Amino acid sequence: MATLYGHPMSGNSYKVKLLLSLLGLDYEWVTVDLMKGEHKQPEFLKLNPFGQVPVLTDGDVTIADAQGALVYLARHYDQDGPWFPQAPVAMAAVIRWLSITAGEVRQGPESARLYHLFGAKAINIERATEKATFILDQLNQHLSSQTWLVGTAPTIADIAVFPYVALASDGKIDLSPYSHVLSWLEQVKQLPGFVGMKGIKASA
């Protein structure tokens, strides 16, 4: 059985938890108390020397990265499914969105959330808000002509981008101007096996 080490308020931990649920996989959840610094203790640093959550272990495999965990789960447990397409163009498109998640999404809505919700005052909130507006504009335009980020079915690209966009209000980012983004968020919430987290409720 896989084990997911994470924090309940971490969007990156949540995205791995979400894919595990969507795939119908059993796993053990271990809370890493970030407030108490458990992610910087020697025992946890053996799992991830960077001292970050999430970490996914599965037998002898340890994946110390959220996007990497999504790729692993999709390829290992859904080899013939749609979550990580193997056609070269589609695969490249998914990887591009994983990069955007670690770039523009992290620099924008994720950073704004860290500033407002967790008091990360080292963050330049004006810059984070500007980045959030940019990526939301791009997402809204992209989703104006298609249902999912890549192709005609949900992929790990959607799961990677979803959490911090859905949590944008925690960073005082208004999603109301982005109708296509809002529709996409609701579509993700309708997926069989969807689970929420604090700040993200499943659709009624």
Q: What pLDDT was estimated at residue 204?
A: 66
Supply the mean pLDDT for the chain: 96
- Name the band, by pLDDT with cuts 50, 70 and 90, for residue 35: confident
DSSP calls for the chain: -EEEEE-TT-HHHHHHHHHHHHTT--EEEEE--TTTTGGGSHHHHTT-TT--S-EEEETTEEE-SHHHHHHHHHHHH-TTSSSS--SHHHHHHHHHHHHHIIIIIIIIIIHHHHHHHH--TTS-HHHHHHHHHHHHHHHHHHHTS-SSSSTTS--HHHHHHHHHHHTGGGGT---TT-HHHHHHHHHHHTSTT---BTTBPPP-
Residues in Cβ contact with 97 at an 8 Å cutoff, skipping those fewer than 6 apart: 149, 150, 157, 160, 161
Q: What pLDDT was estimated at residue 62?
A: 97
Q: What is the pLDDT of residues 47-93, one digit of tens each?
A: 999 999 999 999 999 999 999 999 999 999 998 889 999 999 999 99
Contact 21, 29 (CB under 8 A): no
Distance between CA atoms of residues 201 and 204, nearest Å? 9
The answer to whether residue 203 scores a pLDDT higher than 80 is: no
- Chain position carrying tokens 């992290």: 106
Percent of the residues in the chain that have a pLDDT greater than 70, as a whole number: 100
Distance between CA atoms of residues 172 and 109, nearest Å? 9
The pTM (predicted TM-score) of the whole model is 0.95
Q: What is the pLDDT of residues 93-113, one digit of tens each?
A: 999 999 999 999 999 999 999
- Chain position carrying tokens 């959220």: 66
Mean local confidence (pLDDT), 10-29 = 97
- Name the band, by pLDDT with cuts 50, 70 and 90, for residue 41: very high
